[in-house]
Amino acid sequence: MLYEEHELAHALGLSGGSPAVSGVSIDSRTLEKGDVFFALKGERVDGSLYVEQAFQRGAACAVVAGSLSSSADATRKNDGHGQGHKQGHVLEVEDTTRALVRCGCYARGRTSARIIAITGSLGKTSLRAMLQEVLQELTTGKVCASQGNLNNHIGVPLSLARMARDCDYGIFELGMNHAGEIAALGSWVRAHVGVITSIAAVHSEFFNDETEICDAKGELLEWVSEAALLPATEPYASRLRDKAVAAGIERVAFFGREETSDYVLQRWSDPREASDDSVSVRATFPQRATPSSPPSPSSSSSASSCNADKVQKQKQERRELRWQAGGRGYARALASLCALATCDLLGLVPDKISAGLWDRLARQQPPRGRGRLARLSLSGPPRNIRLIDESYNASPQAVENALAVLARFPPRRLAALGDMLELGGEGARMHADLALCAARCCDLVFTCGSLSEKLYKALPRDKRGAHDVDADAMATRLYARLKDGDTLLVKGSLGSHMARAVSYLEERAVGHGY
């Protein structure tokens, strides 16, 4: 049982009692029997309107703001342990969102699990999913992790509240688009190990430059107790290192292609065969889990000499590991390195990748909407195509990474690109600047949305597929233009609804695989 009898009321600071509950839900449509239903009030939906539906689906308890007495169907009585409802138990609080946070913090406080928090501009969800797979192979303990896109002020406490008391490892993804958000999420999670995947121009509508984005991501470090894993790319590496040191984190490690990193991606290569779906990785790890910080950038010859000496010393002390990671491209190789490096900081990675771990890494494909490769057989006329589904989100760096993956497929490569959102006043320029990369990597480029039209017009004419107003119109056009053997990349910010184009093609597929 997730919460024993009376435990939930205690977690929420209520004097009455509460029934035992087996899960936590904020959606009456997906709620399972025995769950507690938090009736959150948002901009569009008031959860208190769905309490009756939650009880009909088997909710053991509901948490509501204020009283339900105004509801026509809320015949209630006080039973001395909170409020009774004609179909179930109701706990009344002042604010259901704050109550959910309180519940999440209670769950975090009662567990002895090792907690990992992940943030960064790119790759958070892919890393979280891969890290979960790796931990499940390397340990016999119970691994809990946030699911889907639950990484904001609602998703993080919900994920924490769902964490079992006997969990051995907890993995939580933290997202943001404004300064101060990561600090709040980090204070709830209180991680032992904090991971920052990257710093890039994402959500730049709300920041003046990438330095501010770096500082916002670095808020996580104020709430990390033991170790931090950071991207080695300068100038952000030095800035993040200083924040980690100021926060009193004893073990600060860096990962990346830079030789001064503690965890170095030495080489990666996509499969030669288009039918293979795993990237080969070779990396070097420290001999012992005693990572050091890279030196600050310096133009002096003495500093260069010190850097060279450090690199040579690290090469002598490192151990080399090789593995296959499911998916394609540099981003997947780096995510797998980051996952293993995180586990190494926890003291879990052996000197050699076992067969079981190799197999798990090779089979772990990117989540849906974040680079998953599908093979579809379309009708009218019959065609077999490859579909790279990157429809969940987009930023300039992420689009370039996805286009680089597309470029490695033969023979005809098509990109369907929607708007990248939250880029502020630089949005139009950033779209147009992607034209050179898109032209180099693609045979034809299709776009939709007002911002992506800037990209389309900047393309050479022979690379222009078509421009449409939205993803629905684009989907119809793509279906008609696709040919046998094509590889299609679909990418855009969530608000550009590129997932509709993916669904349109999948719904018209008569088979998978070829």
Q: What's residue 18's pLDDT?
A: 97
How many Cβ atoms sit within 10 Å of the Cβ of residue 446?
25
Q: What's residue 34's pLDDT?
A: 97
Tokens of residue 288, six digits: 């012992």
Q: What's residue 316's pLDDT?
A: 56
Whether 400 and 502 have beta carbons less than 8 Å apart is answered as no
Q: What's residue 314's pLDDT?
A: 53
- Measure the CA angle with vertex 76, ends 72 and 77; round to 5°: 155
Q: Does the CA dihedral 354-356-358-360 come out positive or negative?
A: negative
Side-chain-side CA neighbours of 161 within 13 Å: the count stands at: 29
Nearest CA among 356, 366, 355 for reference residue 328: 366
Report how far residue 58's alpha carbon sits from residue 96's, in angstroms, rounded to the nearest whole number.
20
Going along 94-218, which residue ranges are E strands? 114-119, 143-145, 169-173, 193-196
H or E segment and range at residue 333: helix 330-345
Q: Exposed, middle or buried: residue 121 (CB in 10 Å: 0-12, 13-18, 19+)?
A: buried
Q: What's residue 513's pLDDT?
A: 55
Give the chain's length: 514
pTM: 0.90
The DSSP secondary-structure symbol of 41 reads B
Report the amino acid identity of residue 487: T
Domains and CATH numbers, the chain: 7-96 (3.40.1390.10), 111-363 (3.40.1190.10), 372-512 (3.90.190.20)
**Segments in the chain below pLDDT 50:** 69-82, 290-306, 514
How many Cβ atoms sit within 10 Å of the Cβ of residue 152?
16
Q: What's residue 315's pLDDT?
A: 54
Q: What's residue 511's pLDDT?
A: 76
Strands 278-285 and 263-269 come out as antiparallel
Q: Does the CA dihedral 332-333-336-341 come out positive or negative?
A: negative
Report how far residue 390's alpha carbon sits from residue 49's, in angstroms, rounded to the nearest whole number.
35
